[in-house]
Structure 1
């Protein structure tokens, strides 16, 4: 596996225009970005934008929010680096959960496993992502964070 790029992470608000533009351009949801409990990050590699990602804390569990890398920077390992940072942010949680319609193979390569919604805790199923925003066809995946 190629070396993971070094990223500089900066916390950003859910209302950050660059975050919203990147998610919108990638066809990812933006409806609930400003609700409480979310933490988003902008990432840079050198002097260039490397992408965005975020998490939501729900009790002992964390919901991983969309990871987005600019189209011209895909294939550089930036998604892997962003995921590594978000998993560090989730340390101490019981499990990290996500819903995806397109990126299940990426997350499976990084230790996530697909599960039925019946296996998810109530806190995750009650999120806007699980209950309303993501389609029922979205794959639910989970992984335990490193200690």
Structure 2
């Protein structure tokens, strides 16, 4: 399993994978989202996005191909994104989810009120329009390397 930053050429395949999981893609061409991808050989089997703001990252669109779920790819993608976020100097990750709250809870994320998310994150299209108000808002503080 290879996890690495996505190339521009992979963006259409990432969008296709996100679309197959009914995850938001409408604003991806207009915002700065850094994707990490997981490959099993030449096959794209997962992706996760990070939209950075001032000291905070919006974890966007964790997706694993249906045939590869349950194999630990999602966990590996989240850990890789957290490491990348820390390397970028981000102190906190925030996310919205309709279906994966238990997955993220097991990885140290806690439920927060949507209004408690940083204002810069609340102003994003994902918060304002793409994810429904019923989505669970979660956050995790990242430990800074000494």
Normalised by the length of structure 2, the TM-score is: 0.90
Give the corresponding residue for 1:131. 128
Give the corresponding residue for 1:111. 108
Structure 1 residue runs of 5 or longer lacking an equivalent are 1-5
How far residue 34 of structure 1 moved from its aligned partner, in angstroms, is 1.5
Match of 1:8 among 3, 19, 40: 3
Structure 1: which 4+ aligned runs deviate by more than 6 Å? none
| Structure 2 CA distance for partners of 1:89 and 1:14, relative to 1, 3 Å | farther
How far residue 134 of structure 1 moved from its aligned partner, in angstroms, is 0.4
Give the corresponding residue for 1:59. 54
Give me the CA root mean square deviation: 1.7
Local SS of the residue matching 2:62: coil
How far residue 14 of structure 1 moved from its aligned partner, in angstroms, is 9.2
Is 1:142 the equivalent of 2:128? no
Normalized per residue, the structure richer in helix is 2
Match of 1:39 among 28, 34, 42: 34
| Structure 2 CA distance for partners of 1:63 and 1:7, relative to 1, 3 Å | same
Q: Deviations over 1:48-99 (max 9, x none)?
A: 4331111001111100011111000000000000001110111021210000
| Structure 2 CA distance for partners of 1:28 and 1:36, relative to 1, 3 Å | closer
Q: How many residues in Structure 1 have an aligned counterpart in Structure 2?
A: 142
Local SS of the residue matching 2:138: strand
Tell me, yes or no, if the aligned pair for 2:3 and 2:36 is still in contact at 8 Å.
Answer: no
Give the corresponding residue for 2:74. 79
Structure 2 residue runs of 5 or longer lacking an equivalent are none
Normalised by the length of structure 1, the TM-score is: 0.89
